[in-house]
Amino acid sequence: MDGGDLYNKEAQTPVRRNKHASRISSGIYHPVRPASVLSMSSPPPSNLSRLRPRSSMADIGKRYGSISRFTVPRTPSRLSSRSVAKSSLRGHPQSTIRSVSGSTASLIASPSFKTPRFGRRLSSSLSNSSSCESSSQGDSGTTSTDSPSGGAGSSGSSFGTKRSTNIYTGHISVSVRPRPLNEKDGPNSWIINPEASCVYNKEVGEFFYDHVFEPTVSNTAVYLQTVQPIVKKCLQGFNGTVFAYGMTGSGKTYSMQGVRGQTGVISLCVHEIFEYFHSTTRRGALNKVSCSYLEIYNEKLYDLLDPEGTFQLERQSTSVLRRRPATSMANPSSRKRHISSSKSELRICDDPTFGIKVVGLTEFEAPDADSLLRIIRSGDSMRRTGGTNYNARSSRSHAIVLIHLSTQNAPGMPKTASTLCLCDLAGSEKVSSKLERRTEGSYINKSLLALGTVISKLSKGSSSHIPYRDSKLTRILQPSLSGSSLISILCTIHLSSQTFTETVNTLRFASRAKNIAYRVHRTEHSENKYDEKYVETLIKENEKLTKEIHTLKEKKSTKGHIWPDAISSTSIVSRKYDERTAELVAENKMLSEQLEHQKRLNEESQMEHVVDNNESLQELVRVQVHYDVTDESYNKAITNLDNFGKHCMTKMEEMKSYIMHLEQKLRDLELKDALKEIKTGPSAAEITALDNVEEITELKKC
């Protein structure tokens, strides 16, 4: 079969080799392509204390011989054997486990959906190193390069609350873990190829994932490849979700909770977190770890850490949270006696900031790994189990552990927060003969079907409605599935031919999940002392300004009260004066224009008269010289002179009347003398008016 383009016969859908798989591994989950393949003759290291650094992993392999094979990460695990051994062997003092919230609501989506709850679910200490804005690069998991200097958290303004977000892009990581076959399981119908990350059956073809494990692989090896990268991201402030999915009896609880001699993934996460936090605390970081634990049974939510709703009831009655004694959590078996059959059901609510919240979920803060593991174990013991055809102690509920991480590198430094969500889902199964199992089974199958539908829709990139509300499980996982969290899915399968259909269903679910891409944000909060100072300054400034405004208002009202008449009369006088001045200016302008016009007329008329007179006199002289006085020409010249005289007289009369008119106008303008008294000096219009008077006088002389 062509390794590139494959065809899944039963699914009738082409299955393409995932080209991104290795890139995703190298991008999100660090380089995990096999650096070497080890052979082991007996079970691999059973717990963390037996882990060794990478250099010694080969020795372990040699020591254990070669029955099973597993890949070793190229990068050495943060969870080194020595450190883990120290962590697990260290005699921690009796933990003081306390409820940090007595919370009425626990937030599942958590801080990537922004603000931390109770102001404490903040950040990881790696956050100090990665506040700089990141960019998404392709579809492999990418984030910004961590810089030890603090990034945006320190590079931006030092005032005000800053929120810088790192973005992480990638795909859901999907791994497949087959359970080893028993004698009664029947023949194996699958070929497992861990090196090619492939599961094959001749009927349905090949399925490729990020990781495919040998049946005999250890929980630790599974953890290192599939969960540790998510935990590391959580320590950097991103939310992480890990869930085990598969049919009943396929090894989900075995993987998540572990068994004696096989530390489970949850314990390994807890050790990893505290190992890291202990090292950063030594450098002065302020870290907090708290935990909630809930189960979904028959589509109802229950608090596994406070199954009777004790805190809720106490709070309702007294309004004061009473802390549960540490011993009750430290000794789960003693608690079990108090658990009544009537557990108190929790509610899911919409939350504008966090997506959803679980009302009434208890949250305990744990100072160390042992304390946290005791808390989780106590929750495990409260989980409902029952016998099924494939599993004598089958989990009949979906169990979700929420580990909230908060880190601040130093007081005043930005804080980041994240939540690691670890889910051990109930397994799907065929119809059982028992009524109780049938009821549970139908709820389990219904919720898993809803999860499958949501995954299917998300994988198609469908813009249509995603039915998160179809089940409590999808509702709880909604924030994670809709992009607030990095996700790793561990699909556990049976290899037996008896469970062929269920295994194919699980593999198809896994294939669809593989297509889902996400873009996760990390939120950081800076609430350092500079911010507080700045706020103080602003408050003081605000108070000062408020006082000033009051003073000004008072002054204004006082003025208005004492001199209102004076103010109004002054303004009336002023307004009247302005109006009159404007009138005078306009009048002067008009007079100036008239004078100018008259001047021109006079000049023209005088010229004409001069010319006429000159011509008449010349004619008169010529007649007197050449002609007799009785001559007709002489009489004509006399007549002309007579007419000219009359014309001059008429003109003189016209000029006199016009001059009289102008003099009248001038008398009117004498008003301006009165106004001059209240003005500092003559205005341009007044000067023009005076000029006009002079001109009139000149004209009179003409």
Ligand X SMILES: Nc1ncnc2c1ncn2[C@@H]1O[C@H](COP(=O)(O)OP(=O)(O)OP(=O)(O)O)[C@@H](O)[C@H]1O
Binding site for ligand X (CB under 6 A): 179-180, 246, 248-254, 259, 388, 391, 394-395, 426-427, 492
Question: Do 285 and 407 touch, CB atoms closer than 8 A?
Answer: yes
Annotated binding site: 246-253
> Minimal distance in Å, beta carbon 289 to ligand X?
26
1's CB contacts (< 8 A; 6+ apart) are 205, 206
Closest to ligand X by CB, 375 or 493:
493
Q: Rounded to an integer, what distance in angstroms lies between the CA atom of residue 238 and that of residue 298?
A: 31
Closest to ligand X by CB, 259 or 607:
259
Closest to ligand X by CB, 382 or 405:
382
Q: Is 457 helix (H, G, I), strand (E, B) or coil?
A: helix
For residue 64, count other CB atoms closer than 10 A to its CB. Answer: 18
Burial of 681 (0-12, 13-18, 19+ CB in 10 A): exposed
Closest to ligand X by CB, 8 or 394:
394
Closest to ligand X by CB, 6 or 212:
212
Question: Do 47 and 369 touch, CB atoms closer than 8 A?
Answer: no
> Minimal distance in Å, beta carbon 185 to ligand X?
11
Closest to ligand X by CB, 102 or 441:
441
Q: Rounded to an integer, what distance in angstroms lies between the CA atom of residue 246 and that of residue 429?
A: 9
Closest to ligand X by CB, 395 or 416:
395
> Minimal distance in Å, beta carbon 180 to ligand X?
5
> Minimal distance in Å, beta carbon 460 to ligand X?
28
> Minimal distance in Å, beta carbon 259 to ligand X?
5
Closest to ligand X by CB, 391 or 588:
391
369's CB contacts (< 8 A; 6+ apart) are 87, 88, 92, 270, 271, 273, 274, 275
Closest to ligand X by CB, 67 or 601:
67
First-to-last C-alpha distance (Å) of the chain:
126
> Minimal distance in Å, beta carbon 392 to ligand X?
7
Nearest residue to 175 (alpha-carbon basis) of 425, 509, 545, 553: 509
Tabulate helix, strand, coil % of the chain (nearest 5). 50, 20, 30
Only one residue has tokens 């966090």, namely: 354
Give the total residue count for the chain: 702
Annotated binding site for ATP: 246-253
> Minimal distance in Å, beta carbon 192 to ligand X?
12
> Minimal distance in Å, beta carbon 295 to ligand X?
12
Query: Which residues are paired to 492 by β-bridges?
Result: 177, 246
> Minimal distance in Å, beta carbon 450 to ligand X?
17
Measure Cα distances from 386 to 158, 184, 296, 337, 397 in Å.
57, 21, 15, 19, 10
498's CB contacts (< 8 A; 6+ apart) are 185, 186
426: left (phi over 0), alpha (psi -120 to 50) or beta: beta
